[in-house]
Amino acid sequence: MTRTDLKPVEFPTERACPFSPPPKLTELRDEHPVSRLAYPDGTTGWLVTGNSTARSVLNDPRFSSRGEHRRMAVGEGVPQPTLPGVFIFMDPPEHTRFRKLFTGEFTVRRTKNLEPKVERITADRIAAMREMGPPADLVREFALPIPSLVICELLGVPYEDHDFFQRHSETMLDYERTMHEVVEAFTLMEEFLTELIRRKRGKPEDDLLSRVAASDLTDAEAAGSAMLLLTAGHETTAKMLGLGTYLLLSHPEQLALLRKKPELINGAVEEMMRYLSIVQFGVIRGATEDIELDGRLIREGEVVTVALSTANRDPAFFGDPDVLDLSRSAGRHLAFGYGVHQCVGQQLARIEMRVAFRQLIREFPGLRLAVAPEEIKTAHLSSMYGVQSLPVGW
């Protein structure tokens, strides 16, 4: 085992292509799948970029998810505030206690029952786009409203508040915002959700937050879990719908294949998730003891950042990984994570993407970009990568 032959590097953020990881990150994977990482707060940890090593870290209980291990890979280096119920920053058995409240709500069977609702919401957004006429911003009119409406109905959050939580969720995920802005957005979201939980306790309805409010969680724990589900439940899918549409329009031969063979949609969604890997700056774990990882010695207390984007482009796991192939079997991707912290809402996200992409390409056979590609701006310093807007015509 060795520790001294690698110079710490900063997390690479400069992309040469809007759909691919930063070249420096890919270079690290090919040369040093486990390398030293310099965090903005002045500490040094580790960066994992290969697929097999990523799986090892994410599935090893000796690597902890607890909040004290949190580091910001880019930005000011100060972790965002959090609430007690944000269970992605917990280890079993505490993590298990929280997660079991939600696993039953997001099973394949339960989420499949939501598909007609997703179909209706998607059809309504397409009708609204038609009525508006081209050009339209696909992010504002389609990609963002669909998962926002779905998660609002599922959780029991009034949709008239969607602008409020969308705006503040985006601020909390944006590493270009000041810590003052992030804390302000967090505080407003906390107050909003705590009050909503209290209302659900007093007047429960047939929704997920009412069931959470009826559990043994405190107001703060329930609000923390609600913030996690609300933010992750719309922001990730919205980013995938926007960036995924841009990807398809930039690969006309693959878009033509999907139009010709719509039955490929399930696998196509998996391939787009693999190819794009929108969790941009990785996931964080902390070593609870000395651990050997790919010949490197990770000391107890050291932090490891796992880069999902390069793991999902690892040629050891995927043939021609830098080629978008909507007919490939890409189900082994890590876009939803791996191990006990694998995304609890992944089945709902899959349904939303399958329905939305299927209807979009069917109803708009002439769908095209309404601006030059160089005019499309990406959220290059947001923890969830995507396009800020996507003007389209049809």
For residue 304, the domain's CATH number is: 1.10.630.10
pLDDT attached to residue 141: 97
Q: How many domains does the chain have?
A: 1
Q: What is d(CA 381, CA 393) in angstroms, rounded to the nearest whole number?
A: 28
pLDDT attached to residue 4: 52
Instruction: Specify the amino acid at residue 366.
Output: G
pLDDT attached to residue 266: 97
Q: What is d(CA 231, CA 166) in angstroms, rounded to the nearest whole number?
A: 8
Residue 334 lies in a domain: yes
What digits encode the pLDDT tens for the residues 360-394?
999 999 999 999 999 999 988 888 999 999 999 99
Residue 40 lies in a domain: yes
pLDDT attached to residue 76: 65
Q: What is d(CA 384, CA 380) in angstroms, rounded to the nearest whole number?
A: 9
Residue 254 lies in a domain: yes
Residue 16 lies in a domain: no
**Buried b / exposed e along 165-185 (16+ C-beta atoms within 10 A):** bbebbbbbbbbebeeeebbeb
Domain that holds residue 284: 23-393
What digits encode the pLDDT tens for the residues 111-152?
888 899 999 999 999 999 999 999 999 999 999 999 999 998
First to last CA, the chain: 58
Q: Is the Cα torsion angle 54, 357, 246, 130 positive or negative in sign?
A: negative
Residue 6 lies in a domain: no
Q: What is d(CA 29, CA 86) in angstroms, rounded to the nearest whole number?
A: 31
Residue 4 lies in a domain: no
Residue 5 lies in a domain: no
Residue 354 lies in a domain: yes
**Buried b / exposed e along 325-340 (16+ C-beta atoms within 10 A):** bbebebeebbbbbbbe
Parts of the chain with a pLDDT under 70: 1-5, 76-81
pLDDT attached to residue 43: 93
SS3 assignment, position 36: strand
Q: Is the Cα torsion angle 333, 335, 338, 343 positive or negative in sign?
A: negative
CB 153 within 8 A of CB 145: no
Q: Is the Cα torsion angle 160, 164, 276, 389 positive or negative in sign?
A: positive
Full-model pTM:
0.93
